[in-house]
Amino acid sequence: MASFVLTETMKPGAELQGSLVESLANVVLANWEEWKLGGSRPSKLGWILYSRGHVQKSVIKFINPSSARPVAVAKLPNTPGTAVLVQNEHNNIQDMREELRFCPDILGSLPRPLALIKKDWAYILVEEAFDGQPVTSLLQRADERQNSDEGLVTLGRCFRWLVDFHHAVDTPTTMRQHGDFAVNNLFLLPGGRLAVIDWENFGKYPPCFDLFSLVFSAGFYASEADDRDRGPQSLVTRFEAAYFAPTKLCRLVSAFLASYCQQFNMDKAGASEWLDEFLTLKRQRMEDIYGTRNIYALGYLALGNRCYLQRPLFIEGLS
């Protein structure tokens, strides 16, 4: 039986208490064998808080110090208003793992939920961690080397996984999708397998929502390493370049879109309407999240209706 003993009080909007993190680490250690985390159980875990300042949730990655291998991830909502997202992610992953039990290649790309711990006003989700390379890092490396082919190969792997996933879960008429299939939620594992995290937004979306998320986020994050220390204006500039550069991105969208529509027997003529719906939903979501530490939100706040006024640039590139 899993053991969960957390004595600290969750404080909305407060910095994570070190004692709470230590308690979560002890929960992971106490359930090491039951959760099949692999290798010998260490006496202590290291941890990294790698989403500090995120508006919706805090994420803690626990590391086995002896092997430097990530073993578990804990997700905690930052406010009562976002607590439901942690529950949603747990429930969505559980449902998807049951539905995809006969699709081992896709199933292996989903995180394995280990525990959902009720604590005060919140739930804390603990998942098995993926030990792979973030796709954002791979794209940044390709960008720094000015090697567009390397970046396209990486995106091609993500695209192929997306097509296989959509074939496995649904038909184009209902289109259940990940809902945030951005490169910051993707990891490349040893052997070339893709891992996909953050499933709280899984649900029904307009056609190609995940596809647009993939391509536009790729352009958005490609030069993040170069802009890291240049302040808010650089974030706005990068957002604008990703969403409104009508050449490279549009050619990539066009190629993926044509292949996607062909495989699902969909009429590409609907691309304009799908893109409108994508931008509208993306804007609404970022307005709901709101926060200058969220790069997408910052871009929307800075650019406003230009998200719609410059849409023809995309449509021209898609035709």
Do 124 and 139 lie in a common domain?
Answer: no
Query: How far is residue 166 from each of residues 12, 23, 58, 184, 264, measured CA to CA in Å?
Result: 37, 39, 29, 20, 9
Q: Considering the domain boundaries, does residue 7 fall inside one? A: no
CA angle 208–85–271, rounded 5-degree value? 10
CATH of the domain at 22: 3.30.200
φ/ψ of residue 2, rounded to 5:
-65, 145
In whole numbers, what is the pLDDT of the chain averaged over residues?
76
Q: What is the pTM of this model?
A: 0.80
- Which letter does DSSP use for residue 112 in this model? -
69, 96, 128 - which closes a domain: 128
- Cα dihedral 14→19→24→25 (10° resolution): 130
128, 148, 164 - which closes a domain: 128
Do 147 and 295 lie in a common domain?
Answer: yes
Do 213 and 289 lie in a common domain?
Answer: yes
Q: Considering the domain boundaries, does residue 36 fall inside one? A: yes
Number of separate domains in the chain = 2
Residue type, 227: D
Residue pair 298/292 in contact by the 8 Å Cβ criterion: yes
How large is the average pLDDT for residues 136-150?
Answer: 77
Banded model confidence at residue 248, pLDDT cuts 50, 70, 90: low
Task: Give residue 63's pLDDT.
Answer: 93
Banded model confidence at residue 6, pLDDT cuts 50, 70, 90: low
Residue pair 202/87 in contact by the 8 Å Cβ criterion: no
Banded model confidence at residue 21, pLDDT cuts 50, 70, 90: confident
pLDDT in tens, 250-261: 677 778 888 888
Domain of residue 71 covers 18-128
Do 286 and 153 lie in a common domain?
Answer: yes
pLDDT in tens, 81-136: 778 889 999 999 999 999 898 888 899 999 999 999 988 778 899 999 999 999 98
Report whether pLDDT(156) > 80.
Answer: yes
Do 142 and 34 lie in a common domain?
Answer: no
Task: Give residue 249's pLDDT.
Answer: 60
75, 109, 128 - which closes a domain: 128
Banded model confidence at residue 16, pLDDT cuts 50, 70, 90: low
Do 146 and 101 lie in a common domain?
Answer: no
Do 31 and 144 lie in a common domain?
Answer: no
Do 202 and 290 lie in a common domain?
Answer: yes
- Residues 6 or more apart whose CB falls under 8 angstroms from that of 298 comprise 232, 235, 236, 239, 292
Tell me how far apart the alpha carbons of residues 295 and 280 are, in angstroms, rounded to a whole number.
Answer: 17
173 or 162, higher pLDDT: 162
